[in-house]
A = this chain, B = another copy of it.
Amino acid sequence: MDIIVLRPDTSEEDIRHILKKLESKGLKANVSQGTERTIIGVIGDTSKITEEEEDAIRAANGVENVVRIVKPYKLASRDFKKDNTEINVRGIIIGGKKIPVIAGPCAVEGKDILAGIAEKVKAAGATFLRGGAYKPRTSPYSFQGLGEEGLKYLAAARDKTGLPVVTEIMDPRDMDVMMEYTDIIQIGARNMQNFRLLLEVGSVNKPVMLKRGLSSTIKEWLMSAEYIMSRGNHNVILCERGIRTFETATRNTLDLSAVPLLKQLTHLPVVVDPSHGVGKWDLVAPMSKAAIAAGADGLIIEVHTNPEEAFSDGEQSLKPDFFAKLMQEMKPIAQAVGREI
């Protein structure tokens, strides 16, 4: 059911016009004359009213507001599927009791350096390797990633360590090569509403990690998950990575309250990226612990053997020793919330 609020002076004719429109969609209406406003309650399967039809109703004479009750996402909704979605990637479960940790450099910089980092994070207890082969950079003059070469290095590091690989896609034309090398396809924050790319990754049989857009609401984020799922790929992992606010003391504002809220709204697993969320390596440890305590299903953390020489995001990368220590420190917190790490 939806509600249409009318302006105080709406004419009978305008009301009839709206009612006729609803009828044409097979919907019934219930007009209530209040002391200050008249309201039309729309009865029936209002999920059939599309966004554009909603806009059109809003544009009708006399309409002050339209309140939609039905959530615009379905497949992603907890109403649709009660049980948590568990995603199995080469034997590792995302969304289960054990919390996977994805670690690695921001960008893939070379074969040996990547292999070195992979071994270190594996030894520390990480269960996935991250690393960007295609890098979205604000400047055209910055390092844009090694491309397919980088994907090959990731695959090589996986072969050596057994760590499945997470890496970002930026262009639908790279789908084939991504399918060949990666285990989880990442959609970056800046592409959360790159709808064509969403449809593309929705059409393949590989898990997708969907990062939250810089200024995306939780509803829009779930709608982007819905885009992917609507094409058949239900293995979507949501990744909170900080939103843009007025505060500039941190790179972004990590919205940890999104974690427990999402666990109510959706059955999809939710992981947290504290590295991008705060943008300062010395805040990553406390925020990783906080994410676990808030109920996160996983973490993605930037680790680099030599942050000062990193090609990007050195500022927010942990050194392997520090990361190993953090992995140990998170164990009792995971246990305290009924999980393992």
In the complex, residue of chain B having the shortest beta-carbon distance to the beta carbon of A217: B247
In the complex, residue of chain B having the shortest beta-carbon distance to the beta carbon of A310: B56
By a CB distance below 8 angstroms, the chain B residues around A261 are 249-250, 278, 280, 283
A124 beta carbon closer than 8 Å to chain B: no
| Separation of A260 and B278 alpha carbons in the complex (Å) | 11
A333 beta carbon closer than 8 Å to chain B: yes
Contact of A139 among B32, B199, B223, B310 (CB under 8 A): B223
Residue from A58, A195, A217 whose CB has the most chain B CB atoms within 10 Å: A195
A33 to B: closest C-beta gap in Å: 9
Cβ < 8 Å to B, chain A residues 202-218: 214-215, 217-218
Contact of A39 among B41, B50, B278, B335 (CB under 8 A): B41
Q: Are B195 and A59 in contact (CB under 8 A)?
A: no
Q: Are A56 and B190 in contact (CB under 8 A)?
A: no
Number of copies: 4
By a CB distance below 8 angstroms, the chain B residues around A72 are 138-139
Contact of A282 among B5, B45, B191, B264 (CB under 8 A): B264
In the complex, residue of chain B having the shortest beta-carbon distance to the beta carbon of A295: B286
A153 beta carbon closer than 8 Å to chain B: no
By a CB distance below 8 angstroms, the chain B residues around A52 are 142-143, 310-314
Known contacts A254-B257, A293-B293, then 10 further A-B pairs from the complex at CB < 8 Å, ordered by chain A residue? A51-B137, A56-B314, A172-B173, A217-B246, A244-B246, A249-B261, A253-B253, A261-B278, A290-B293, A329-B336
Which residues from chain A sit less than 8 Å from chain B, CB to CB? 1, 3, 5, 8, 21, 30, 32, 34-37, 39, 41, 43-47, 50-52, 55-60, 65, 67, 69-70, 72, 79, 136-144, 170-173, 190-191, 193-196, 198-199, 214-215, 217-220, 223-224, 226-227, 230-231, 243-250, 253-261, 264, 277-278, 280-283, 286-287, 289-295, 307-315, 317, 329, 332-333, 335-337
Q: List 28 A-B contacts (CB under 8 A).
A: A21-B308, A30-B30, A34-B46, A35-B44, A36-B47, A36-B79, A51-B137, A51-B141, A52-B313, A55-B314, A58-B315, A72-B138, A137-B195, A140-B195, A140-B226, A172-B172, A173-B173, A190-B193, A190-B194, A244-B246, A248-B248, A254-B255, A254-B256, A260-B283, A290-B290, A290-B291, A329-B337, A332-B335
